[in-house]
Structure 1
Amino acid sequence: MIDYNHPAVRYYQEVSEQCIHYLSIDGVIFGFHENQLKVLLLRWKNTTEWSLPGGFIRKAESVDVAAQRVVQERTGLDKLYLQQFHVFGEANRYDQADTWARTKLPIQTVKWSERTISIGYYALVEHSKVVPTPDFMTDECCWWPIDNVPSLLFDHNNIINVALGSLRKQIEDQPINHLLPETFTIPELQRLYETILGYPLDARNFYKKIVGSGALERLSERRAGTPHKAPYLYRFKAKHL
């Protein structure tokens, strides 16, 4: 017997009526905090299972607008940098029976899609501005270090890996200032690059390259409270934001 009051059933009914069938959005929301690249994850209700934020595309909205909505609802941010990075459309993306069993949803009474194609977007956000917000299907929304992500539902571990690979390949062309506060030091910017790339950079070469790019403006203020000589603060010039 179908429990029409169950949130999963209500959600399925909404998707069936208002959304494009078999097509979804998965969002990889990157943040940088305490010298770690982090990703925002959701823990499903009454389980220890985690997944990426995601959702379906409404019939009256564009794909980009749907992605903005999905990420905005989880972060509380209305100004977002989003990059579409891949379409996940393999015929067998994951073990359907095992995955739905882990969610503890009443799939015995609901005919869920046998196959869904997912459009992946990654977002670059400033960690301190995010208000992590779970949805009605989840109990918790929080940051996980990229190197410590658990085994996720669906094929979401693979989606994160593909998103990170895409960010690494395009790092020179991406506005990574979205991951930083407005002002920062050159060593702090270097640590961000190293965290994304996954390997150390030579400090002198990095300084020459980043300052020589003309993208930064040096301020008169210095970073107080550092163990060595207080470094100058910088910010990205407006045309590079």
Structure 2
Amino acid sequence: MRKQTTPDNQLQVDHPDGSGYLPGLAIDMVIFGFHEKQLKVLLLEYQNTNLLGLPAGFIKEKENLNEAAKRALTHRTGLHNIYLEQYYVFGDYSRFDPEPLRKILKSKGMNPGDDHWLLKRFVSVGFYALVDFTKAVPSPDLLSERCDWYDLANLPPLMLDHQAMIEKALETLRANLDRKLIGFNLLPETFTMGDLQSLYETILGEKLNRTSFQRKILSLDILERLEKKWTGGAHKAPYLYRFRQSREVAVPEKSFL
């Protein structure tokens, strides 16, 4: 897979003081990918280390936090105008472990001292996103060799506390799905109730009762019912729906990064 040549790959990992970046603060992104009843997560693989982890980023000294997250998301996926939300700050001292990063730097031919900026303690701001993984173009960063989608139900062991980050992000996604669904833009402009239920079931990881689901969704008043979907003559053809973009349940525009 070809590496990016964007400015994001110019991170000065060989500069031990981390010039130009806020010290001790990082971004970790849980990028969920959905398509046709599959739910995946984007991971970086570090060659010759047996380490895998979440895409991460750092905040420039004169850069807003949300802009840094947007920049990192675009570099890893090639996507723009994606709903990205801050969901948790990971700051426990127990998560501090410089050895995985030391191993990664050594795999790049470096011999970092204990005072190298990447080996110091970081507080990490967690962001999550949900995208159609068929539209993304995963790209590794300067320290990684591969960037790819992994089945959420069958993840390999991950470095540091990245498994816990994914679990927390998934918990947040599931809890806020009703309010955030419009923002994720995962469905075509018009869709059936079955399409919507399939999306819910994939993210929630469970089967839902069709009648109860339809009653719940319609009670949210976020859908506009259109004509029936043409199926060639069957009188039981399903109705098509689209989101009411003006409803309060829609994600505010300012939430888009």
1:143 to 137, 146, 149: 149
| SS of match in other structure, 1:174 | helix
- Tell me if structure 2 keeps the 8 A contact 1:223–1:232: no
Question: Is 1:109 the equivalent of 2:112?
Answer: yes
1:181 has 2:184 as partner: no
Q: Would you say the 8 A contact 1:220–1:233 is kept in 2?
A: yes
Match of 2:227 among 199, 220, 224: 220
What is the RMSD computed on CA atoms of the aligned residues? Answer: 2.9
CA distance in 2: counterparts of 1:194 and 1:9, whole angstroms:
40
Q: Percent identity?
A: 41
Contact 1:125 1:178 in 2 (8 A): yes
What TM-score comes out, normalization by structure 1 length? 0.84
Contact 1:75 1:133 in 2 (8 A): yes
Instruction: Please give the TM-score of this superposition, normalised by the length of structure 2.
Output: 0.79
Q: For structure 1, which segment, 95-104 or 185-194, has the greater mean C-alpha deviation from structure 2 after superposition?
A: 95-104
Which residue of structure 1 aligns with residue 54 of structure 2?
A: 52
Which portions of structure 1, spanning 4 or more consecutive aligned residues, are displaced by more than 4 angstroms? none
Name stretches of at least 5 consecutive residues in structure 1 with no aligned partner: 1-6
Q: Please, which of 83, 97, 100 is the counterpart of residue 99 of structure 2? A: 97
Aligned to 2:137, the other structure's residue is in SS state: coil
1:168: which partner in 2? 174
Task: Give the Cα separation in 2 of the matches to 1:35 and 1:127.
Answer: 12
Q: Which runs of 5+ in 2 are unaligned?
A: 1-8, 252-257
Question: 2:71 corresponds to which letter in structure 1?
Answer: R
Which residue of structure 2 aligns with residue 191 of structure 1?
198
Within the candidate set 107, 131, 143, 2:137 is matched to 131
| Structure 2 Cα separation of the partners of residues 223 and 116 of structure 1 | 55
